[in-house]
Amino acid sequence: MALWSQASGADEATHPSAAILAGYSYNNSCNGLGPELPDYCDPYGVGFGLRIGVTFPFQLYLRGVVVYHLGYSLLDGGVKAHTWYPGGEAGFDLPLGPVIVRPYIGVGAVVFRLTAAPPPGATSPNHSESWVDPAVWPGVSVLVPIGHFFAGLDGYGIAAGPSDAGESTIGAFAMAGARL
């Protein structure tokens, strides 16, 4: 019997699901990118996302994910940095009593955007940069099935490169979703 079925009492069929995410990731990667940047500039911070996937009867879970982080902005609008990442994830469902533990690995890209306004009185335009780096993120989700719905927590670490921006981060998210 499939593990989702053991935890939720459902049948053994393949089930698609969708979940929304809200959480926080930390990284202080703006240091050293330019004299106009503050000592602290986290391009991640508060984030929101969407996952859509499918659970197979043999406990394999495949999903697509996109997460957007609000990042950092100075109150005067002088510096703004944010990050988002799309990708795919593969995991394996493991029952632990009434919960499902899902270790997974994700691959995709980190898109980093930085905008810096010129100093007061300067006539130059805003400085803006974007770059995309390949990324991999191992993580684990802990899910509590509630009928066809579920809630849970998710923790992960992103390793991205090779740019000098240092888009690597660690994060934690709460999630809620439903089997479709």
Q: What is residue 5's predicted lDDT score, i.e. its pLDDT?
A: 47
> How many domains does one find in the chain?
1
Helix then strand then coil, % of the chain, to nearest 5: 5, 65, 35
Mean pLDDT of 44-69: 93
Q: Determine if the pTM surpasses 0.85.
A: no
- What is the pLDDT confidence band of residue 44, given thresholds at 50, 70 and 90? confident
Tell whether the model's pLDDT for residue 7 goes beyond 60: no
- What is the pLDDT confidence band of residue 14, given thresholds at 50, 70 and 90? confident
Answer with the residue of higher pLDDT: 118 or 101.
101
For strands 127-146 and 79-92, give the pairing.
unpaired
Mean confidence (pLDDT) of the chain: 82
DSSP 126: P
Q: Which two tokens stand for residue 47?
A: 């984030």
Q: Which domain holds residue 74?
A: 3-179
How much of the chain exceeds pLDDT 70, in percent? 72
Planar angle of CA 30, 32, 36, nearest 5 degrees: 75
Answer with the residue of higher pLDDT: 22 or 82.
22
Mean pLDDT of 41-54: 88
Q: Domain holding 122: CATH number?
A: 2.40.160.20
